């Protein structure tokens, strides 16, 4: 394979190859899942055991996101690890600040999610709205199955799949490759961050969670830009998902869990405002810390 040829192609062609690898992985894992359902006699994926679901989710994440990201990095750059910033250094301070940003934002994200969930489509699109709600319900059922934890082993496996695997595979794909291609194409890093965030949210096919997921994607995109490290974007993604897994394991089925899920909405909006302002302060600190850290490299 002549890798030099791929390094000279334009960003539009690079996006095409990324999309090709993505859909190839999606089709491949879809076929494998369908074959497993047929052989096991199951009617749909929601009837599978949590452990099987976690295994399928992991395989899908690897072949839909991680493999395409690595293939593109291999083809488009002489050093895939350098392209993906795998060897980039970061400080303990950055780890703490990025974690603090994601935790602080949780009430604000809940607030945005609440208003997103109140959106109603025009009457002429009532059929589409019904389909969207059904898809949301199915996605919720799948998430609940993945989060089901009857033991510490179940909790660890949920944390590994939903937080660790998702963070690595999706960040390598979206921030590691897609955002970099878009930055090269648009020559505007802010535009690249937000387009990537929109695609990141849209690809989850959850209309009523679109806005909060888009904002989270933008934060992860800027963390990648400011720190120059894919691992800081992975950390941001991991912390956000891990908070959901941990809260579900500790409090699912209790009033505490319900309060945590709704923190920042309705009468608790001051928590959303306080979290947003705290995150802004931490972002300023991150940028200052990053400049100081990079100057010592």
Q: Tokens standing for 255?
A: 């009033």
pLDDT, residue 243, reads 95
Half-sphere exposure of residue 267: CA atoms within 13 angstroms, side-chain side: 1
3-state secondary structure 246-290: HHHHHHCCCHHHHHHHCCCCHHHHHHHHHHHHHHHHHHHHHHHHH
Give Cβ neighbours of residue 287 (< 8 Å, ≥ 6 apart): 226
pLDDT score, position 292: 44
User: H-type helices in the chain, by residue range?
Assistant: 3-7, 11-40, 50-61, 67-76, 80-83, 92-117, 126-147, 152-158, 166-173, 179-186, 189-202, 210-227, 230-251, 255-261, 269-295
C-alpha span between 187 and 280 (Å, rounded)? 26
- What pLDDT is attached to residue 195? 97
**What are the extents of the domains in the chain?**
82-295
The closest alpha carbon to 113, from 216, 18, 193, belongs to 216
> What is the predicted pLDDT for the residue at 67?
97
Cβ neighbourhood burial of 203 (10 Å; 0-12, 13-18, 19+): middle
Phi/psi of residue 104, each to 5°? Answer: -65, -35
How far apart (Å, rounded) are the C-alpha atoms in residues 235 and 90? 11
CA distance 297 to 289: 13
pLDDT of residue 172: 98
pLDDT in tens, the chain (297 residues): 567 777 788 889 999 999 999 999 999 999 998 888 888 877 777 778 888 889 999 999 999 999 999 999 999 998 999 999 999 888 999 999 999 999 999 999 999 999 998 877 777 766 777 777 777 777 777 777 788 877 899 999 999 999 999 999 999 999 999 999 999 999 999 999 999 999 999 998 788 889 999 999 999 999 999 999 999 999 999 999 999 999 999 988 888 888 888 999 988 999 999 999 999 999 999 998 876 444 333
CB 12 within 8 A of CB 20: no
């Amino acid at each position: 394979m002549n890798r030099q040829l791929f390094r000279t192609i334009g960003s539009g062609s690079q996006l095409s190859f990324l999309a090709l690898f993505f859909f190839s992985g999606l089709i491949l894992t879809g076929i494998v899942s369908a074959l497993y359902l047929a052989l096991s006699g199951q009617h749909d994926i929601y009837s599978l055991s949590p452990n099987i679901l976690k295994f399928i989710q992991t395989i899908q994440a690897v072949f839909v996101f991680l493999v395409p990201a690595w293939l593109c990095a291999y083809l488009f750059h002489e050093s895939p690890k350098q392209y993906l910033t795998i060897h980039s250094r970061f400080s303990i301070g950055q780890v703490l600040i990025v974690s603090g940003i994601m935790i602080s934002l949780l009430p604000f994200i809940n607030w945005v999610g609440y208003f997103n969930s109140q959106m109603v489509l025009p009457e002429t699109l009532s059929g589409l709205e019904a389909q969207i709600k059904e898809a949301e319900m199915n996605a919720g059922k799948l998430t609940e199955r993945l989060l089901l934890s009857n033991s510490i082993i179940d909790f660890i496996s949920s944390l590994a799949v939903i937080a660790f695997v998702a963070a690595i595979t999706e960040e390598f794909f979206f921030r590691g490759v897609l955002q970099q291609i878009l930055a090269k194409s648009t020559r505007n890093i802010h535009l690249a961050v937000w387009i990537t965030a929109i695609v990141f949210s849209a690809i989850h096919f959850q209309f009523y969670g679109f806005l909060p997921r888009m904002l989270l994607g933008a934060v992860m995109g800027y963390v990648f830009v400011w720190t120059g490290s894919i691992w800081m974007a992975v950390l941001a993604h991991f912390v956000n998902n891990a908070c959901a897994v941990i809260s579900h394991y500790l409090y699912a089925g209790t009033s505490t869990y319900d309060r945590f899920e709704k923190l920042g909405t309705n009468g608790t909006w001051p928590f959303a405002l306080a979290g947003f302002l705290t995150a802004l302060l931490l972002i300023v600190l991150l940028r200052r810390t990053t400049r100081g850290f990079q100057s010592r490299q």
